[in-house]
Amino acid sequence: MGAAPNQETNSFLPDKSAKVFVAGHRGLVGSAIVRKLQDLGFTNLLLRTHADLDLTHQSDVESFFSTQTPRYVILAAAKVGGIHANNTYPADFIAVNLQIQTNVIDSSYRHGVEKLIFLGSSCIYPKFAPQPIPERALLTGPLEPTNEWYAVAKIAGIKMCQAYRIQFNWDAISAMPTNLYGPNDNFHPENSHVLPALMRRFHEAKIKGFKQVVVWGTGSPLREFLHVDDLADAVVFLMEKYSGLSHVNVGSGTEVSIKELAELVKEVVGFEGEVVWDDSKPDGTPRKLMDSSMLQALGWSPKISLRDGLVGTYNWYLEHVKE
């Protein structure tokens, strides 16, 4: 990408009374960003639930921006879901996400927002991208078919930020986080990601006194996890420090095998039984790691170890998730 990747803006952090619209503030990502901004002393956060403001409704989004005139926008609202949901509702995944991001990005530009950050995910990259995946791998090959509807919408969001920067010299940036976990994650028994799913299963096995937990696959695939509070820290960092054309990967840089992850979650939860690997079930892609060297070169690094992050997440689970 052509623009200076480390051009400093230095404008976000000083004014803690600036109006910041955090779209999707009750989600995993949005809620962590709100916690971070509140910790930093921001006093003028604009927050709207989905019921208060449906971001797919263009005229409502327009009137929100014209009356509220936020100075900064953090776009963490999206329709997200796993493989099953993507396969069952492809039209929703492409249409809802295109609508949300188009409405928010365009209204932000036209109503004088100074800077916007758009959040996507690692699924934007080709199925056979080089590992670790650098930013430049975008649009170099076919996508993973199971979530291409979602991925195409997210790619359009990156491109929209780039296009508005090129045509209007407007400060819109994009961040692509790796697999996230933390408070407010989805612990649903059937359609949650691997980490919260393991936590729930070990917890239930401990409570019910089971001797074994069966986990699909061999446990050999390598994955990267980032605590959502680290992501929130990176988002604030990018709002302050980065104004380039390229999207920016946000990862922890640390790989664990699913087997190592399961052992760690088991230990944190305190399940004393056995983990049985059902290797008749599919493993999924062998390795998925983001190349976050661009963000590291800008001066950011993660602070929360996987073990500490899991302990905090399990405490949150115990307080918030009903059996």
Ligand X SMILES: NC(=O)c1ccc[n+]([C@@H]2O[C@H](COP(=O)([O-])OP(=O)(O)OC[C@H]3O[C@@H](n4cnc5c(N)ncnc54)[C@H](OP(=O)(O)O)[C@@H]3O)[C@@H](O)[C@H]2O)c1
- Whole-number minimum distance, CB 157 to ligand X, in Å? 8
By the 8 A CB rule, do 24 and 77 touch?
yes
- Whole-number minimum distance, CB 179 to ligand X, in Å? 5
Q: Which of 22, 73, 76, 261 binds ligand X (CB under 6 A)?
A: 76
Residue type, 163: A
- Whole-number minimum distance, CB 73 to ligand X, in Å? 13
Q: SS3 breakdown of the chain: % helix, strand, coil, rounded to 5? A: 45, 15, 40
- Whole-number minimum distance, CB 212 to ligand X, in Å? 28
- Whole-number minimum distance, CB 30 to ligand X, in Å? 6
Query: Which residues have C-beta within 8 Å of that of residue 187, sequence separation ≥ 6?
Result: 196, 197, 199, 200, 317, 321
Per-residue x/- track, 56-75, ligand X (CB under 6 A): x-------------------
Give the gyration radius of the chain's Cα atoms: 20
Q: Which two tokens stand for residue 167?
A: 């045509």
| Alpha carbon 208 to its chain's center | 33
Q: How far apart are CA 262 and CA 276, in angstroms?
A: 11
Question: Any contact of residue 309 with ligand X (CB under 6 A)?
Answer: no
Residues 219 to 248 in contact with ligand X, rule: CB under 6 A:
none
Question: Any contact of residue 78 with ligand X (CB under 6 A)?
Answer: yes
Q: How far apart are CA 235 and CA 241, in angstroms?
A: 10
> What distances in angstroms separate CA 54 from CA 79, 86, 110, 155, one per listed residue?
12, 21, 19, 22
Known catalytic membership, residue 317: no
The one catalytic residue among 72, 109, 125, 150: 150
Length reported for the chain: 323
Q: Which two tokens stand for residue 217?
A: 């696959």
Near ligand X by CB under 6 A, which window of 5-13, 78-86, 202-210, 235-243?
78-86
Residues 138 to 177 in contact with ligand X, rule: CB under 6 A:
177
Q: How far apart are CA 196 and CA 310, in angstroms?
A: 10
Question: Any contact of residue 180 with ligand X (CB under 6 A)?
Answer: yes
Pairing state between β 171-177 and 115-119: parallel
Residue 155 vs 213, nearer CB to ligand X? 155
Q: How far apart are CA 83 and CA 145, in angstroms?
A: 10
Residue 26 vs 206, nearer CB to ligand X? 26
Using CB atoms, what's the residue nearest to ligand X?
Answer: 27
Question: Any contact of residue 121 with ligand X (CB under 6 A)?
Answer: yes
> What distances in angstroms separate CA 289 from CA 129, 257, 284, one per listed residue?
10, 11, 14
- Whole-number minimum distance, CB 76 to ligand X, in Å? 5
Residue 25 vs 205, nearer CB to ligand X? 25
By the 8 A CB rule, do 237 and 314 touch?
no
Q: Which two tokens stand for residue 142?
A: 């076919």
Q: Which of 131, 179, 218, 296 binds ligand X (CB under 6 A)?
A: 179
Question: Any contact of residue 119 with ligand X (CB under 6 A)?
Answer: yes
Residue 80 vs 205, nearer CB to ligand X? 80
Which parts of 230-284 are beta strand (E)? 248-250, 255-257, 274-278
The SS3 assignment for 73 reads strand
Question: Any contact of residue 306 with ligand X (CB under 6 A)?
Answer: no
- Whole-number minimum distance, CB 176 to ligand X, in Å? 7
Question: Any contact of residue 120 with ligand X (CB under 6 A)?
Answer: yes
Residues in the interface with ligand X (CB under 6 A) total: 22
Residues 17 to 56 in contact with ligand X, rule: CB under 6 A:
24, 26-30, 50, 54-56
> Residues with catalytic annotation?
150
Q: Using CB under 6 A as the criterion, which residues of the chain lie in contact with ligand X when the complex forms?
A: 24, 26-30, 50, 54-56, 76-80, 100, 119-121, 177, 179-180
